[in-house]
Structure 1
Amino acid sequence: MPPRFATLPNRRAIIDRRTIADALAVLEGADATALRKAGTMLLADAMAAGRAEIERRFAEHPTRGLETAAAYGFLMDQLLRLLWDFTVQRLYPNNNPTAAERMTLIAAGGYGRGEMAPHSDVDLGFLTPWKRTGWCEQVIESMLYALWDMGLKVGHSSRSIDEMVKMARSDVTVRTALLEARYVWGDTALYDEAARRFRVEVQGDTRGFVAEKLAERDARHRKMGDSRYVVEPNVKEGKGGLRDLHTLFWIGKDAYEVQRAAELVGKGVLSAREYRRFNRAENFLWAVRCHLHLIAGRAEDRLTFDMQREIAERMRYADRPGKSAVERFMQFYFLQAKTVGDLTGVFLAQLDETFAARGRRFGLPTIRRSPRRLKGFVLDRGRLALPHDDYFRDDPVRLLEIFALADQHGLEIHPLAMRAAARDAKLIDEHRDDPRANALFLDVLTSPRDPETVLRWMNEAGVFGRFVPDFGRVVAQMQFDMYHHYTVDEHTIRAVGLLARIESGSLAEDHPLATAIFGHIVSRRALYVAVLLHDIAKGRGGDHSVLGAEVAERLCPRLGLSGAETETVAWLVRWHLLMSATAFKRDLSDFKTILDFSGHVASPQRLMMLLVLTIVDIRAVGPGTWNGWKRQLLTNLFESAEEVLRLGHKQKGRSERIAAKQAALAERLGWSQEAYDRLVRTLPDAYWVAEPADVLEHNARLIARAGDAALSIDAQPHAERGATLVTIHASDHPGLFYRVAGAIHAAGGNIIDARIHTTRTGMALDNFLVQDPLGRPFDEPGQLQRLHGAITDALANRAKLSEKLKAKPLPRLRAETFAVQPAVLIDNKASNRFTVIEVNARDRPALLFHLAHALFQSKVTIHSAHVATYGERAVDTFYVTDLIGDKIDSSGRLKTIERRLLDAATGDVDLARAA
């Protein structure tokens, strides 16, 4: 019996094998098929009762993951033994078996370890001495049918011992499964012979096995996102998950011939403290996996947002000031994933010392090597190592010096040195004010080489969070939303890495403006520190920008920054969201927007630093958050604000700007003077200010093609914007905007920006930027055809938008998991000409359509709409006037507009009336 089964309390309450065996013994049936069916029903009832008992215990003790996994394994063992005996004694009795009719049943894979989640597959092996006889095949077939009838998913193999050895030697997956194999029932002598031959004929090539398992692990990590800090992790397969722990155990079992992870302590591979961490992480991860299976009612290993909230509740996490129960649960999850990563490093170091050939190492990249000693540290095959175990204790500042040297010389740190750093990290507490330590830390942070990698090493060793306790508070901290893909510490380290890559020029193609201006930034140190601190106060309650600025004012002098640098860092942290909020939520063609933003920034240096900080912050959020449209908006805002800051708060003559755009367009079009003058007379001044040059040309050619047509629609993908420009030229009438918005959504598009114009001839000229639900240009021929048809039908009143919109699925199903309190902000100071209305709400199908219809009902004219989405949260901003073109200043009317928009944001509207 596996050790974990032996420690299970009151095993007979889960299943009493003797009682069930007695019940099976008296069953009757007309033939073998009927008898098997009766036996299967009895065993299925026993399985259901056993699972109910395990689930009851787990509900009482929801953190006992290993005990629960062992209980499911124990239950399966007893059921298989009962089924085996029933099959060979009652269904296919063989009173005088030949030597070839011996057989044994083994458990393989996770079941072989004695660990099962509620809906895990049952991995079985049927072993025979030679080729299977007819009786063996009858028994195997009957047992498999019974197991399938019980609703179990069974992975099985039936092999002779020779076949088992051959397969294990040629296939690392089979070897791994058999490495964990254990006896369940049947011929014990046959099992012993199989185990002996596996040990002698298969095990032994430890180097090859280890290399293959590490390569397999790396491939799995790449597939799962290659970070243990993704906010919807896979508990089994993800980096830092159960499979990583299993890989360590497999390698340990093969290399050191241990049966249990605890035996690795005796082998000197893990210390007693490290094994306790191993066991704690394994227990927690198993608890989470069992909860996942029970909630889903099937095998489910991805810890999605909706699951996170429910598991946090089941595991009895509670809210704390500034941090919800689910965020506390996930922070503990990521801390355990970090533990798994730490133990992996320790384990590989021990393997390296024991098995790796001189000059070669397992799973680690080849780097430049040098035989030199470095400031007291020694080099072990190109890696920084310690001359003796007390080296950090003798001078704790060396805990930072080792990382600084690794950065300066392009070296790796020996895993045993990392192990010592993790053990001794607390010693740095007393040296946080040491100027040497702070200078070393700042050197790593602002390194022109690869600060991201070295900071990540420092974080994994625990030195980072100890030296900067404010950073330690956000280690493994997630933000419970669909926008942020990583924990706060991982997001921050990635942002620093992106900053270094922009400075080096390696991201010039993605960020030409940021790359071009970087060399003009006077205090790069301040910028690097600002990136480090921009999210440092997340999870404290209150505005993290304000609280983060206070941290900066306290921490920067300690790091050695001057008073001016400290002031700059604090300002950047305080306003690090200002540029993105202005670019994505405001109308940049409204000069008041540029003046207000420039007044806030007040300095060309701050403007440059804020742009770069904004870019790396957005990009470090996760894949897909950066696109060409955001680049264009930020570039437009930067260039407009730079002009104001360099020339003073005086707008370049509006008429001059319009004239310059018109002259440039005339040159690009090449029309006759008469035709061009006719176009210019048609379009209002506001249009020329609002639209960029390429859109002006595109619109002009559409107007020329349209002639006297009542409706013209054009869609043109723009790769650089990451979106498709959809232009509508139609007879203007009330409600046109909301109908077009509804039609675009019904066709499967998402509107990310909209500009609405009315020509002097009474025609609407509306430009929409549209993406597909994955944030890509809406450019497939079928998509564009569907879009054209939907808009045409909507404006001709041929289609019931209500029915089409109700049929559209929610683009991100798990958005329902999040509570976003809707809010409507109305600002009459943000623009000289318009009332600015900002709506914050949970993103849902056709939200823009509902909001635009609410404004239509309120008898207002929409002049531009700006759509920003942050995961499950949508922020839609409208620049509006009343029907005669004036700002709306009546408090009663503004309250009515606010109420209607709130109803639209929450879905409390009649969709049929809206269509």
Structure 2
Amino acid sequence: MDPSGDAFGDRRRARALEADRLLRGLFAGAVGSADDPRQGQGVALVAVGGYGRSELSPASDLDVVLLHDPSVGEERIREIAEAIWYPLWDQGVALDHSVRNTVQMREAALEDHRAAMGMLDARPVAGDSGLVLALRSEVLTDWRRDARKRLVEVREAREARIERSGWLAHAAVPDLKESGGGLRDGVVLRAMVATWLVDVPRGEAEALRSALLDVRDALHETSGRRMEKLDGEHLVDVARLLDRDTHELEHHTRNIGRRVAHLSSLAWRRVDDVLETRPTAITSTGPVVAPLDDGVGRLDDEVIVLQGVDPAEDPEIALRAAAAAARHGLPIGSSTAQHLARTLGDIPEPWPASAQRALVDLLTAGPGLVAVWDELDYAGVTDRWVPEWADIRLRGSSSPVHRYTVDRHSVETCVLAAEVARDVDRPDLLAVAALLHDIGKGRDGDHSEVGESMAEEIALRWGFSAADARVVARLVRWHLLLPNIATRRDIEDPSTAVNVAEYVESESFLDLLAALTQADARATSASAWSSWRRGLVHGLVAKVRASLDGTTSADAEAYEGWPAHVPIPDWGSQSLTDLSLEVENHRGGSLLTFVTLDRPGLMESIAGGLAVLGLEIRSARTVTIGDAAASMWEVTRADVDVTKVRERLKPILAGEVDLAARLALSPSPDAVPPRVTLLHQRSETATLVEVRAQDRRGLVWTVCRAIRELGHSIRSAHLSTYGAEARDVFYVVDADARPLDETAAEQLRAAVAAALT
């Protein structure tokens, strides 16, 4: 199928015509107009919304109003309505219907801007068309008369919608209808033009909306249902129907959203010009421009390049204008951005100090950076500074944790890095690393490794010294080090901190890496920087700092486990069911502290009990004190019922519950087999086993059982879930509390893999 053709548009119109014929037949039968045409006077069927525009997508509802003159009796209208609606329901037609007289319809349009916008596209389908045309004319007159007030309402609703649904160009899972730059924005542009207050390039706006409708139609056809979100599950099928590969379709769709959002931004700026009555200050020499920087000024509420400045001769002007705009929270005028893109000269390489300083000012400006970068990126200016940016522009992330595309995520990371700039010695290097930390995602290979050399090359081009460029490159290379280690390793094991210290080398670099980690995680999503993850990372950073200043060592004897001291209850007996349990809310979930009689398989039993209770485990640690075992378990649920946990665990600890029957792993829906790996040289005190598998109930218990059956013990476990994938690390020791030898370790790895498959 030729994606540039109008096949989808033809089908939308054909569906609308088919619906028209169906409704006309039902209407004729309902009013008896075949015998007496006068019986249809004062009554009409009206198509509104997308159906009114003859844009009927495969799974769209029929948006229909039975409109009537107030003089037509209620009983008569009820008879007509039932004669139309019931046959449609019997045929399974998806119907969004209402019955209103002309007065009610006009009042609804006056009270609700959404009703008014729907009426602007109203189309008579059957009956008294004069009734419909007269009402539409009245609604349009009201819309134009009250345009200043109505546009304020429309903007507030749009901002709330975008807050919920994000931007089509940058959301991880774009909503084709509700996102900023989506189909609803296209309809809003039509309504804005109808006010006569502003104008937009109507042809371009409609072409973009039609192209986005094609994508949605393909989504409806391939999914077989009404849906608006283009998720990864349906992307392949939609791309095939549109004769594109998946990456091409994703970029095509996001680019439409970016262009619609840009048109919307221009339109709303023009609305602001109309709604704000303050006059532009003008002197005998022209409008008054407030200077902001060399060659840069403010005209009204936009940043412009002053007359007489030639970007070909002064290529740094774009950087100065961008920095000034971001710093003052002002937009760069679209015409200014386009002018810069057409005429900008090349900055000599390596960049002079003045250009580098302007770039850093831009990247550290805070929230104002986002809109300025978007405008310049849309115009093509950013490609002059970072040609590599093209590889990540509008690129979706493969991780379900991300809420933005790679490019927008990188800019958001800069904004959040600016908030912690005071915590580091070199905020300039932090800002550059924040922008470039995912630059390698546009190339094959591990993006951290690929991005390392790319970032170093870019930093050198931007005029940073070789030493500073190397710092930026190392930050890019290791930007995932702290969260990965904190969530998958035992941070209480001194060797963990020592190993990390070998990578970071200095407290100055540790500060930079910690700040980048925080900014990156916060820009990813709330779950990526939950209180649990934040606490683990901060704890690891503190321990690495202590290792760097020489106050800790990796001596195996220094490992004390957790906790350093636990009071042992006086049970008066040594029963398997003796159990002390304390619960406290902790890092968004709960911290459960158990003390019970030590014995083989204890962690297996507790993990099984927590699974039976439906509690998702984040981490677990245990330490033996005399004949007792103390263990700490982090679970995701807050406000855990202590009594319920204790009573459900007692029969499990006594061996009275067949956990194998209760927790047998269901077949994994993941076609990729579990991966079990030995992490060599990561600890001097235990053997580390990493499990990557589809997260399922009983997964932790299954691994614990396999370890216990080989006669080994689990000192601690560190459990993380990324989307549907579990990534768990177990610290295993033998019967003498020592790491396993090479042969035993391999046997363990194979046994765990077999248990999971």
Distance across 1 between alignment mates of 2:255 and 2:608: 45
Pick the aligned partner of 2:48 from 91, 104, 108.
Answer: 108
Q: Does 1:421 align with 2:337?
A: yes
Pick the aligned partner of 1:345 from 265, 272, 297.
Answer: 265
Pick the aligned partner of 1:830 from 654, 675, 682.
Answer: 682
Matching residue's letter, 1:425: A
Matching residue's letter, 1:440: A
With over 3 angstroms needed to count, the CA separation of the structure-2 counterparts of 1:180 and 1:390, relative to structure 1, is farther
Task: Tell whether the 8 Å contact from 1:820 to 1:873 is kept in structure 2 after alignment.
Answer: no
Tell me how far 1:218 sits from its aligned partner.
0.9
Task: Tell whether the 8 Å contact from 2:621 to 2:632 is kept in structure 1 after alignment.
Answer: yes
Q: Paired residue for 2:501?
A: 598
Tell me how far 1:132 sits from its aligned partner.
2.2
Does the residue aligned with 1:733 lie in a helix, a strand or coil?
Answer: coil
Does the residue aligned with 2:683 lie in a helix, a strand or coil?
Answer: coil
Pick the aligned partner of 1:124 from 56, 64, 77.
Answer: 64
With over 3 angstroms needed to count, the CA separation of the structure-2 counterparts of 1:760 and 1:486, relative to structure 1, is same
Distance across 2 between alignment mates of 1:455 and 1:708: 67
Pick the aligned partner of 1:541 from 434, 444, 457.
Answer: 444
Distance across 2 between alignment mates of 1:576 and 1:192: 62
Any stretches of 5+ residues in structure 1 without a counterpart? 1-56, 257-266, 319-324, 362-369, 505-517, 656-685, 773-777, 909-915
- In the TM superposition, 1:457-856 aligns within 5 A as 457-503=375-421, 518=423, 521-647=424-550, 686=559, 689-691=560-562, 696=565, 699-700=566-567, 703-704=569-570, 708=574, 710=576, 711-719=578-586, 721-761=587-627, 763-772=628-637, 778-781=638-641, 784-802=642-660, 804-805=662-663, 822-856=674-708
Pick the aligned partner of 2:90 from 128, 144, 149.
Answer: 149
Tell which deviates more after alignment, 182-191 or 197-206.
Answer: 197-206
Distance across 2 between alignment mates of 1:96 and 1:62: 42
Tell which deviates more after alignment, 176-185 or 390-399.
Answer: 390-399
With over 3 angstroms needed to count, the CA separation of the structure-2 counterparts of 1:281 and 1:851, relative to structure 1, is farther
With over 3 angstroms needed to count, the CA separation of the structure-2 counterparts of 1:71 and 1:61, relative to structure 1, is farther
Distance across 2 between alignment mates of 1:388 and 1:588: 59
Task: Tell whether the 8 Å contact from 2:360 to 2:431 is kept in structure 1 after alignment.
Answer: no
Q: Paired residue for 1:73?
A: 16
- In the TM superposition, 1:834-913 aligns within 5 A as 834-891=686-743, 893-905=744-756, 908=757
Distance across 1 between alignment mates of 2:579 and 2:378: 59
Distance across 1 between alignment mates of 2:451 and 2:46: 58
Tell me how far 1:755 sits from its aligned partner.
0.8
Task: Tell whether the 8 Å contact from 1:455 to 1:464 is kept in structure 2 after alignment.
Answer: yes
Q: For each residue in 1:283-327, what CA deviation from the matched residue of structure 2 results, as whole angstroms up to 9, or x when unmatched?
A: 343233223333443322233332334434444444xxxxxx3x5
Q: Does 1:247 align with 2:188?
A: yes
Distance across 2 between alignment mates of 1:199 and 1:499: 48
With over 3 angstroms needed to count, the CA separation of the structure-2 counterparts of 1:531 and 1:102, relative to structure 1, is closer
Tell me how far 1:800 sits from its aligned partner.
3.8
Q: Paired residue for 2:217?
A: 290
Tell me how far 1:848 sits from its aligned partner.
1.5
Does the residue aligned with 1:79 lie in a helix, a strand or coil?
Answer: helix
TM-score, normalised to structure 2, is 0.89
Q: For each residue in 1:258-284, what CA deviation from the matched residue of structure 2 results, as whole angstroms up to 9, or x when unmatched?
A: xxxxxxxxx96328xxx44x3554234
With over 3 angstroms needed to count, the CA separation of the structure-2 counterparts of 1:598 and 1:376, relative to structure 1, is closer
Pick the aligned partner of 1:356 from 275, 293, 307.
Answer: 275
Q: For each residue in 1:120-167, what CA deviation from the matched residue of structure 2 results, as whole angstroms up to 9, or x when unmatched?
A: 221112233332234444222201111111212322233333333233
Distance across 2 between alignment mates of 1:310 and 1:475: 23
Tell me how far 1:725 sits from its aligned partner.
1.6
Distance across 1 between alignment mates of 2:571 and 2:449: 53
Matching residue's letter, 2:633: F
Task: Tell whether the 8 Å contact from 2:414 to 2:431 is kept in structure 1 after alignment.
Answer: yes
With over 3 angstroms needed to count, the CA separation of the structure-2 counterparts of 1:853 and 1:546, relative to structure 1, is same
Matching residue's letter, 2:430: L
Q: For each residue in 1:805-845, what CA deviation from the matched residue of structure 2 results, as whole angstroms up to 9, or x when unmatched?
A: 4699x9xxxx95x7655322213422223211112223233
Does the residue aligned with 1:244 lie in a helix, a strand or coil?
Answer: helix
Identity fraction in percent: 27
Distance across 2 between alignment mates of 1:233 and 1:851: 38
Distance across 2 between alignment mates of 1:63 and 1:857: 65
Distance across 2 between alignment mates of 1:853 and 1:539: 42
Distance across 2 between alignment mates of 1:429 and 1:819: 52
Tell me how far 1:201 sits from its aligned partner.
4.6
Task: Tell whether the 8 Å contact from 1:332 to 1:476 is kept in structure 2 after alignment.
Answer: no
Distance across 2 between alignment mates of 1:61 and 1:789: 66
Tell me how far 1:347 sits from its aligned partner.
1.9
Pick the aligned partner of 1:443 from 349, 361, 373.
Answer: 361
Distance across 2 between alignment mates of 1:176 and 1:769: 52
Q: Paired residue for 1:51?
A: none
Distance across 2 between alignment mates of 1:394 and 1:118: 55
Matching residue's letter, 2:724: E
Any stretches of 5+ residues in structure 2 without a counterpart? 281-287
Tell me how far 1:239 sits from its aligned partner.
2.3
With over 3 angstroms needed to count, the CA separation of the structure-2 counterparts of 1:503 and 1:373, relative to structure 1, is closer
With over 3 angstroms needed to count, the CA separation of the structure-2 counterparts of 1:692 and 1:485, relative to structure 1, is farther
Q: Paired residue for 1:13?
A: none
Task: Tell whether the 8 Å contact from 1:385 to 1:413 is kept in structure 2 after alignment.
Answer: no
Q: For each residue in 1:847-890, what CA deviation from the matched residue of structure 2 results, as whole angstroms up to 9, or x when unmatched?
A: 22222222223332211111122223322111112334343224
Task: Tell whether the 8 Å contact from 2:588 to 2:636 is kept in structure 1 after alignment.
Answer: yes
Distance across 1 between alignment mates of 2:222 and 2:146: 42
Q: Paired residue for 1:171?
A: 112
Q: Does 1:213 align with 2:177?
A: no
Tell which deviates more after alignment, 850-859 or 102-111.
Answer: 850-859
Q: Paired residue for 2:176?
A: 235
Q: For each residue in 1:360-404, what CA deviation from the matched residue of structure 2 results, as whole angstroms up to 9, or x when unmatched?
A: 99xxxxxxxx96244444533333245679976785543333211
Q: Does 1:407 align with 2:326?
A: yes
TM-score, normalised to structure 1, is 0.75
Q: For each residue in 1:457-504, what CA deviation from the matched residue of structure 2 results, as whole angstroms up to 9, or x when unmatched?
A: 544554334421222321211122322222111221221111111236
Task: Tell whether the 8 Å contact from 1:444 to 1:455 is kept in structure 2 after alignment.
Answer: no
**How many residues are treated as equivalent by the alignment?**
746
Tell me how far 1:114 sits from its aligned partner.
1.4
Pick the aligned partner of 1:334 from 239, 244, 254.
Answer: 254
Does the residue aligned with 1:538 lie in a helix, a strand or coil?
Answer: helix
Task: Tell whether the 8 Å contact from 2:554 to 2:684 is kept in structure 1 after alignment.
Answer: no
With over 3 angstroms needed to count, the CA separation of the structure-2 counterparts of 1:376 and 1:606, relative to structure 1, is closer
With over 3 angstroms needed to count, the CA separation of the structure-2 counterparts of 1:705 and 1:203, relative to structure 1, is farther
Does the residue aligned with 1:798 lie in a helix, a strand or coil?
Answer: coil
Does the residue aligned with 2:454 lie in a helix, a strand or coil?
Answer: helix
With over 3 angstroms needed to count, the CA separation of the structure-2 counterparts of 1:750 and 1:560, relative to structure 1, is same
CA RMSD of aligned residues (A): 3.4
Task: Tell whether the 8 Å contact from 2:46 to 2:64 is kept in structure 1 after alignment.
Answer: yes
Tell me how far 1:228 sits from its aligned partner.
5.0
Tell me how far 1:802 sits from its aligned partner.
4.7
